[in-house]
Every structure is written in C-alpha cells, then in structure tokens.
Amino acid sequence: MSAAAAGSDRPVDLEKSAAEIPDAETTEVPEKLRAEIEAYMARYPDPRSATLPALEAAQRVHGWCSPQALEQVACVMRLTPAYLESVATFYDMLETTPVGRHSIYVCTNISCSLRGGDALYAAVRDAAADEPEEFNVRSFECLGACDIAPMASVDGVYVGPLALEDVPRLLDDARAGRRVLVEKQLAPRLVADTQANSREFPPHPPQEPASR
C-alpha cells in the first residue's frame, strides 16, 4: 500500500508513452509462466476469467506483482497492464509492493483478537522486523479458522492456537522451509463436535498444501 499511496501522489512521467497492451514481439515472458497462464485461460469460456490465477502465478515467479510481472501477464492475456494493476490492488493476497519471501498472515479479526490475536501479531511482527526480505508479516482479516484462535497462516499453512512462545519456532521453521509447528497445524484436527462421527477416528495425518 505504501508505494501505491505514493503512486497517487506522483505525477505521470510525460516522457513515457501510453501503457497499451504490451507488444508480444518485444515483451519477454518466461516460458513456464506463459504456459501456465495460457492453460488457465483455456479453462474458462472467457479467457479474462484467468486474471486472478494468472496474477497469482506471476507473483510466485516475481515475488510480487511488480510492474514487470503485470506487463508479462498483460502480454499473454492481451490486456492492458493498468487493468491488471486495478485488479491486483483490489485483492489482499496480491502484493503490489516488494515483500519478504515467506508470507505470514496473522489473523487479527474479532474471534482471534478476543483470544489474543493482536498481541500475537505484534509479537510476530516485532520478531521478524529485522528480516524484511525473509518475512512478509501481515495482520489479516478473519482467515476462517476461529476454532484455532489465535492463529496464523504461514505460507498457506494454518497453525493455531498459538502462544507467544510459539513465535520463535514459527519463524525458524518458516525460514528453514520446514513444516511449521507440526503439532499446531489445523489439518489433522478432528471436528470439535463430540457427537459427530458414527465411530471413533484417529486424528488425520498432517497434510501440506500441494500447491506450494
């Protein structure tokens, strides 16, 4: 948001030309990215529907939706980069400024905050403050896991309930690319409703998201 806010206070550069749909001849797009975007476009009756998955893919390649990333998507999808910027800035998971490698979303919405989510966020933010290239710590709206409040999503993996003592290990695990806080992951938990299930079942084995 900060660079974007600056964008609102910056005059345009009159030396630049209009930002039209990028020229396919002169815009270089990594082959894998192009193929991925084209595959998304083929899934929908209207290829424009692929905008979100395409931006997400470009963000994975570039680390954020940089102007260059937007131009590449624009080139493959035959859209203007402005159109994509407009879309990208609308969605919280698309980053329009450079961010750290590991995304840590700490939920600070009502249910988590009733259980200490704000303090948790402050602790994670402070602990990661010296490593802006490593961590992208964000206070997030309800992540849909209030049953494990206070919680966080670390590179897409939900963990909770978290205590302040968990913070160092959470960062260590993320930094090392290990499974984060295995025993605190949401995936293996049984449903809270004790009357559910016609039989007894063991907890599920932990699952890592496949798409990361």
Partner 1 sequence: MTEKLLFADIDEPGLHTLGVYERRGGYASLRKAFSMTPEDVLAELEASGLRGRGGAGFQMGKKVSFLPKGSMEKYLVCNADESEPGTFKDRELMQKSPHMLIEGIVIASYAAGAQRSFIYIRGEYVLQADVLDAALAEAREAGFIGEDILGSRHSLSLVLHRGAGAYICGEETALLDSLEGKRGNPRLKPPFPANQGLYQGPTLINNVETLSTVPVIIRMGGAEYAKLGAESSTGTKLVSVSGHVQRPGNYEVVLGTPSREIIYGLAGGPPEGREVKCWFPGGSSAPVLTAEHLDVSYDFDSLAKAGSMLGSGAIIVVDDSTPILDVALKVAKFYQHESCGKCTPCREGTNWTVKMLQRIELGEATPMDLEIMASVQDHIMGNCLCVLGDAMAMPISSIISHFKEELEAHMERARLRPAETLVSA
Partner 2 sequence: MITFTIDGREVRAPENAMLVDAAKHGDVEIPVFCYEPKLGNPVGACRMCLVEIEGIPKLQTGCSTPAKDGMVVHTQSERARVAQQAVVEFLLINHPLDCPVCDKGGECPLQDITFGWGAGTSRFIEPKRHFVKPLALSERIAIDRERCILCYRCVRFSQEISEDNQLVLVERGAHSYVATFDGHPYEATFTGNIIELCPVGALTSRPYRFRARPWDIEDAGSVCTLCPSQCNVTLTVRDERVIRVLARDNGEVDDGWLCDRGRFAYPALGGLPATAAALADAPAAAENGAGRITEPMIRDGGQLRVVSWERAMTEAVAGLRRAGERVGAIAGGQATNEEGLLLARLMREGAGSPHVDSRAAGTLELELHLALNEPRLQARVSDLEFAHAVLVLEGDPIRDAPILDLRLRKGVRRHGMKLIRATREELLAGPRELADKLAGAGEEIVVLWAERLTAGPDGSRAAAALLELADALSLGDVEGAGLLEIPAHTNGRGLREAGVLPNAGPGLSDPAATGDASPTGRDAAGIAEELAAGELTGLYLLQSDPLLEPADREVWERALERAATVVAHASFLTEGIREHADVVFPSEAYAEKEGTITHPDGRLQRLRPAVAHPGSIRAEWSVIVELASRLGLDLEVLTGAMASAQLFESVPFYAGLTLEEIGGKGVRWQEREAAGAYPTREQLV
Binding-site member from 141, 163, 172, 177 for partner 1 (CB under 8 A): 141
Restricting to residues 6-35, name those near partner 1 by CB under 8 A: none
Cβ at position 74, least distance to partner 2 in Å:
9
Question: Between residues 13 and 200, which has the closer beta carbon with respect to partner 2?
Answer: 13
Binding-site member from 50, 69, 73, 79 for partner 2 (CB under 8 A): 79
Question: Between residues 18 and 192, which has the closer beta carbon with respect to partner 2?
Answer: 18
Question: Between residues 69 and 148, which has the closer beta carbon with respect to partner 1?
Answer: 148
Does 121 interact with partner 1 (rule: CB under 8 A)? no
Stated length of the chain: 212
Sign of the alpha-carbon dihedral angle for 155, 156, 157, 160? positive
Q: Position of tokens 């806010």?
A: 5
Query: How many Å apart are CA 16 and CA 119, to the nearest integer?
Result: 46
Which residues, listed in sequence order, are joined to residue 138 by a DSSP beta bridge? 105
Binding-site member from 13, 31, 183, 193 for partner 2 (CB under 8 A): 13
Q: Which residues in the chain belong to E strands, given as ranges? A: 102-107, 135-140, 152-154, 157-159
Q: Are 174 and 137 in contact (CB under 8 A)?
A: no
Residues that bind partner 2 in the complex, under the rule CB under 8 A: 1, 4-5, 7-14, 16-20, 67, 70, 79-83, 85-86, 89-90
